[in-house]
Amino acid sequence: MTAADAVAIRATGVVKTFGGLKAVDVERIVIPKGRITALIGPNGAGKTTFFNLLSGFDKVDSGTIELDGEDITGMPPHRLAAKGMVRTFQLTKVLSKMSTLENLKLGALGQRGENFFVALFRGLWADQEAAIERRADALLERFNLGHMRDEFAGTMSGGQRKLLELARAMMTDPQVIMLDEPMAGVNPALAQSLLEPIKSLRDEGRTVVFVEHNMDVVREIADRVIVMSEGRVIAEGTPEEIRTNRAVVDAYLGTHRGTESDGGGAQ
Ligand SMILES: Nc1ncnc2c1ncn2[C@@H]1O[C@H](COP(=O)(O)OP(=O)(O)OP(=O)(O)O)[C@@H](O)[C@H]1O
Ligand SMILES: [Mg+2]
């Protein structure tokens, strides 16, 4: 974060405890606008919990979260989606028994939960459906999923599901996109095909925050890295600064698991 960068998200004094465990204890985090920020840290560091707090899927015990200078603490996900902030999940939430296109259309409603999606899918939204479908088709083409349009999403590969989630998150034209392990479960040889789509979001001026364990990926696409360990931010900087940071190396010793996700912790 340089002085010239505008702020997309600011978290101040954010604490979340589970039982006696301080899962998140962040004094201050600033996410720059229009850049790709990687959130890294060992398993159980609190990355997903922090994502849940930022995106309204969980409530802070204390502290404040701001989006574009507005206090959004405690706002539910669908209101945040309306304000331009969406997230994807560490474990994909693709609905296997719906087509790729239908999965995408559900994204137009913002993040209200699947039951809500399905209930309102037809009816209330029928008049807007043509416009929604045009946007969905454009996104399917953009993310190379056009050929999967009418297939059950359950037939997709891991990489395609991740692309579908990305496309679905884009349905509301968000300015801030948070991706929890966008490469998890994807064959490393195919992970490369997910990098360009993520970079393209930044190149359109969007703010991207992503959780990732693979440092090669982080180095390749992140402008900025925030490192968490045991709920706290232990380092921030460019990928190069982080690579040689002693506290980061110490935090990872004996706990770094490489590139695979085991899907542990809160999803
Ligand atoms: N709903 C919950 N109830 C109780 N404990 C939780 C809950 N969610 C997370 N935790 C605990 O909080 C800590 C942080 O978990 P979190 O899932 O945020 O870590 P993470 O950095 O995302 O890890 P990973 O890299 O494995 O995804 C862990 O000790 C975890 O067990
Ligand atoms: Mg996690």
Q: In angstroms, what is the span from residue 261 Cα to ligand 2's centroid? A: 9
Task: Give domain status of residue 172, yes or no.
Answer: yes
pLDDT tens-digit profile of 60-87?
Answer: 999 999 999 999 999 999 889 889 999 9
Please count the other Cβ atoms lying within 10 Å of the Cβ belonging to residue 86.
25
- Calculate mean pLDDT across residues 1-28: 91
pLDDT tens-digit profile of 103-134?
Answer: 888 877 665 555 555 555 555 556 667 788 88
pLDDT tens-digit profile of 50-61?
Answer: 999 999 999 999
> Structurally, how many domains does the chain consist of?
1
pLDDT tens-digit profile of 20-48?
Answer: 899 999 999 999 999 999 999 999 999 99
pLDDT value of residue 51: 93
pLDDT value of residue 216: 87
Please count the other Cβ atoms lying within 10 Å of the Cβ belonging to residue 114.
11
Chain-centroid distance of CA 228 in Å reads 16
Nearest CA to ligand 1 atom 8: 266
Task: Give domain status of residue 264, yes or no.
Answer: no
pLDDT tens-digit profile of 161-173?
Answer: 889 999 999 998 9
Please count the other Cβ atoms lying within 10 Å of the Cβ belonging to residue 177.
23
Task: Give domain status of residue 48, yes or no.
Answer: yes
Counting from 1 in the atom list of ligand 1, the atom nearest the Cα of 58 is 1
pLDDT value of residue 261: 43
Q: Which ligand has the nearest atom to the CA of 24?
A: 1
* Between 178 and 263, the higher pLDDT residue: 178
Q: Which ligand has the nearest atom to the CA of 213?
A: 1
Please count the other Cβ atoms lying within 10 Å of the Cβ belonging to residue 147.
11
Mutate to test the pocket of ligand 1, among 16, 18, 26, 58 (most ligand atoms within 8 A of CB): 18
Residue 193 is inside which H or E element, if any?
helix 188-203
Q: Give the range of the structural domain holding residue 191, as residue numbers without chain letter.
A: 7-252
Please count the other Cβ atoms lying within 10 Å of the Cβ belonging to residue 189.
8
The pTM of the full predicted model, rounded to 2 decimals, is 0.87
Task: Give domain status of residue 31, yes or no.
Answer: yes
Task: Give domain status of residue 258, yes or no.
Answer: no
Kindly tell me if the per-residue pLDDT of 267 is higher than 60: no
Q: Which ligand has the nearest atom to the CA of 228?
A: 1
Task: Give domain status of residue 263, yes or no.
Answer: no
Q: In angstroms, what is the span from residue 263 Cα to ligand 2's centroid? A: 7
Q: What is the CATH number of the domain that holds 191?
A: 3.40.50.300
Which residue reads 């692309």 in tokens? 163
Mutate to test the pocket of ligand 1, among 17, 26, 47, 212 (most ligand atoms within 8 A of CB): 47
- List ligand 1's pocket residues with C-beta within 6 A: 18, 21, 23, 41, 43-49, 90, 264-266
- Calculate mean pLDDT across residues 175-203: 89
- Calculate mean pLDDT across residues 91-101: 82
Nearest CA to ligand 1 atom 1: 266
Kindly tell me if the per-residue pLDDT of 231 is higher than 80: yes
Q: In angstroms, what is the span from residue 23 Cα to ligand 1's centroid? A: 7
- Calculate mean pLDDT across residues 216-239: 94
With beta carbons less than 8 A apart as the criterion, state whether 46 and 17 touch: no
